[in-house]
Amino acid sequence: MLPTRIPSFVIAALLATLSASHFTTGKFSGNIPTDSPIENEEIRNNTSESIMNTTIKNIIIKGYTNPWIKENLELTHQTILDLSCTLTSLPDLPASVTGYWKKDGKEIPGSQTVIEKKDERFHFQNKQFRFPITDSSHLGNYSCVFDLRPEAEARFIVTVPHTEGREKPLISYEGDAIVMVCKAHSHLPNGWTWYRLNGTERNIINATLNPEKFTTAVEKGKKASLKIMGLTQEDSGIFWCSAIYDIGSSEGRIHLKVLSYTVPLKPFLAIAVEVLILVSLILIYEHHTKKKQTITENGKDSEHTEKLTSDGSNGLRDGTARHRNV
């Protein structure tokens, strides 16, 4: 039943302006109810007094696409998500269709709604049903599903901005210092932490406790650097930098390798030996050919002098001959 065409789709995003956030956490300490429409209403009522941003996002589903349309939403502050999906361009659309929301693949109970066809499209938006994003448990994949045969789905991937570490390993030497830099993707995090994993345990790197070894710095909020001095082999391994936002944190990974000085020494010595060998070979060859040359030259020298004297006598004869004729 799937049409064979795979149309290109345009995602129309209507972003509400995210003004400067004046969000007070005071009202949200303690119990944050789980996602359910009724309880969402309660939250909405509670927060109507606080100034909390609303993020409005819409996806237009034009027919069946493979894979389903995804949109990335990077959020830094607590907000209420007002998500909607518009279904168009499908043949044989019935007059009404049921739709529901899924979070991380599991249907959200009580989110089923009946949508009427309007202007050949189904607009699935439930004003009573909005998603608060207040902590990291609220992050994830939110999908709107249209209950047709087969189903039509669009997905909103809600995350904190990702943090860039370093893909290739960072190489340094024993006794040397190294600077690791992590970059936050386009937003300013509240803070940064550096840690290493010991199994599943996090060993947080505390620069104030160990100032001779570690120094941290943050540049314009977006770049965090960790300087490690006096490297040893134990420092080899994976370091994590964590950018902390109101609603969660995102990690960047840096792999550090600490080598000893003998490692580059071996290729260096190999090349130096090769150079010495080549230079000696060339000089020996030259010495050898020079010897040959001088032997043959000495032989030629004696021949040469004989020739010259004979030439001279020839010239002499010609000269006298000419003058006699004159």
Partner 1 sequence: MPPPPTTNLGYIPPDGGWGWPVVFGAFMSIGFSYAFPKALTIYFKEIQEFFSVSYSEIAWVSSIMLATMYAGGPVSSILVNKYGSRPVVISGGVMCAVAMVAASFGTSIIQLYICVGIIGGMGLAFNLQPSLTIIGKYFLKKRPMANGLAMAGSPVFLCTLAPVNQLLFDTFGWRGSFFILGGLLLNCCVAGALFRPIGVTSKSAQKQDKKPIGEEKVNNGASSEPSSPQAANPFSGREPAKPAGCCQKVNKFIDISLFKHRGFLIYLIGNVLMFFGFFAPIVFLAPYAKHLGIDEYSAAFLLSILAIVDMIARPGTGMVANTRWIRPKIQYFFSFSVAYNGVCHLLCPLASGYLGLVMYAVFFGLAFGMVCALLFETLMDLVGAQRFSSAVGLVTIIECCPVLLGPPIGGALVDAFGDYKYMYYVCGAVMLLAGIFLFIMNYYNYRLLEKEEKEREKKEEDEEEKVELEIPGSEVCCESEETNEKPTTAEQEA
CB of residue 102 vs partner 1: minimum separation in angstroms?
A: 36
Select the residue interacting with partner 1 from 211, 279, 291, 295 (CB under 8 A).
279
Per rule CB under 8 A, count of chain residues that contact partner 1: 38
Question: Other C-beta atoms within 10 Å of 194: how many?
Answer: 23
DSSP category for residue 114: E
Which listed residue (6, 10, 18, 171) binds partner 1 by CB under 8 A? 171
Number of H helices, E strands in the chain: 2, 19
Q: Does 18 bind partner 1 (CB under 8 A)?
A: no
Interface with partner 1 includes 306 (CB under 8 A)? no
Distances (CA, A) of 46 to 15, 31, 40, 75, 109: 24, 13, 10, 22, 22
183 vs 254: CA distance, rounded Å: 11
Of 51 and 270, the one with the shorter C-beta distance to partner 1 is 270
Query: Binding segment for partner 1 among 41-49, 71-79, 240-248, 266-274 (CB under 8 A)?
Result: 266-274
Q: Is 135 in the site for partner 1 (CB under 8 A)?
A: no
The token duo for 250 is: 């995102």
Rounded Cα–Cα distance for residues 134 and 78 (Å) = 5
Shortest CB 157 distance to partner 1, Å: 25
Residue 312 binds partner 1, judged by CB under 8 A = yes
| 3-state SS, residue 76 | coil
Q: With binding defined as CB under 8 A, does residue 179 bind partner 1?
A: yes
Nearer to partner 1, 66 or 262 (CB): 262
Report in angstroms how near the CB of residue 280 gets to partner 1 at its nearest: 9
Question: What is the smallest separation between the CB atom of 278 and partner 1, expressed in angstroms?
Answer: 5
| Among 106, 118, 168, 220, contact with partner 1 (rule: CB under 8 A) | 168
Instruction: Please tell me the distance from the alpha carbon of residue 174 to that of residue 234, in angstroms, as a whole number.
Output: 10
Strand 191-198 versus strand 131-133 pairing type: unpaired
User: Does residue 220 interact with partner 1 by CB under 8 A?
Assistant: no
CA angle in degrees (0–180, nearest 5) for 217-223-227? 40
DSSP 151-213: -EEEEEEEEPPPEE--SSPEEEETT--EEEEEEESSS--SEEEEEEEETTEEEE--TTT-TTT
Binding flag, residue 287, partner 1 (CB under 8 A): no
Q: Which two tokens stand for residue 258?
A: 């600490």
Nearer to partner 1, 157 or 229 (CB): 229
Nearer to partner 1, 43 or 181 (CB): 181
Q: Nearest approach, Cβ of 320 to partner 1 (angstroms)?
A: 6
Rg over CA atoms, the chain: 40
Pick from 67, 105, 150, 315: which binds partner 1 (CB under 8 A)? 315
Binding site for partner 1 (CB under 8 A): 168-173, 176-179, 181, 225, 259, 263-265, 267-272, 275, 278-279, 282-283, 286, 304, 308, 312, 315-316, 318-320, 323-324
